[in-house]
Amino acid sequence: MKKVISVVAPAYNEEESIQRFYEVIKGVLEGCTNYDYEILIVNDGSKDNTPNIVRDICAKDKKVSFVSLSRNFGHEIAVMAGMDYAKGDVVILMDADLQDTPSIIPDMLKKYEEGYDVVNAKRKSRDGETWMKKFTAKMFYKVFSASSGKVKMPENVGNYRLVSRRAVEGFKKLRETHRFARGLFCWVGYPTTEIEFERDARIAGKTKYNYKTMINYAIEGLTSFTTAPLRWATYLGIITAIVALCYAIYVLFMVFTHDPNLERGWASMVILILFFGSAQLIVLGILGEYLGRIFDETKNRPLYFVQEYINSDVNNSGK
Question: Of 290, 279, 285, which Cα lies nearest the Cα of 236?
Answer: 279
Nearer to ligand UDP, 43 or 226 (CB): 43
With beta carbons less than 8 A apart as the criterion, state whether 82 and 172 touch: no
Identify the DSSP state of 153: P
Binding flag, residue 99, ligand UDP (CB under 6 A): yes
Which one of Mg ion, ligand UDP, none interacts with residue 21, CB within 5 to 8 A by kind? none
Distance CA 254, CA 259 (A): 5
Distance CA 82, CA 70 (A): 14
With beta carbons less than 8 A apart as the criterion, state whether 203 and 20 touch: yes
Binding flag, residue 10, ligand UDP (CB under 6 A): yes
Q: CA of 40: how far to CAs of 95, 268, 302, 318, in Å?
A: 11, 63, 21, 19
118-126/35-43 β-pairing: unpaired
Span 171-200, contacts to ligand UDP by CB under 6 A: none
3-class state of residue 127 by DSSP: coil
Span 209-238, contacts to ligand UDP by CB under 6 A: 209
In this chain, which of 19, 207, 311, 316 binds ligand UDP, going by CB under 6 A? Answer: 207
Span 24-53, contacts to ligand UDP by CB under 6 A: 44
Element housing 291 (H / E): helix 266-299
In this chain, which of 20, 55, 208, 293 binds ligand UDP, going by CB under 6 A? Answer: 208
Question: Looking at 27-35, 51-59, 96-104, 111-119, which segment touches ligand UDP (CB under 6 A)?
Answer: 96-104
Nearer to ligand UDP, 22 or 116 (CB): 22
Q: How far is the CB of 70 from ligand UDP (least distance, A)?
A: 13
Distance CA 88, CA 169 (A): 11
157-164/192-199 β-pairing: unpaired
Span 13-52, contacts to Mg ion by CB under 5 A: none
Residue type, 296: D
Q: How far is the CB of 91 from Mg ion (least distance, A)?
A: 19
- What is the contact mask toward Mg ion in residues 80 to 119, using x (rule: CB under 5 A)? ---------------x-x-x--------------------
Binding flag, residue 12, ligand UDP (CB under 6 A): yes
Q: Compute the Cα dihedral for 161, 166, 169, 171 and give only its sign.
A: negative
Q: How far is the CB of 221 from ligand UDP (least distance, A)?
A: 13
In this chain, which of 7, 16, 74, 233 binds ligand UDP, going by CB under 6 A? Answer: 74
Q: Where on the chain is the footprint of Mg ion (CB under 5 A)?
A: 95, 97, 99
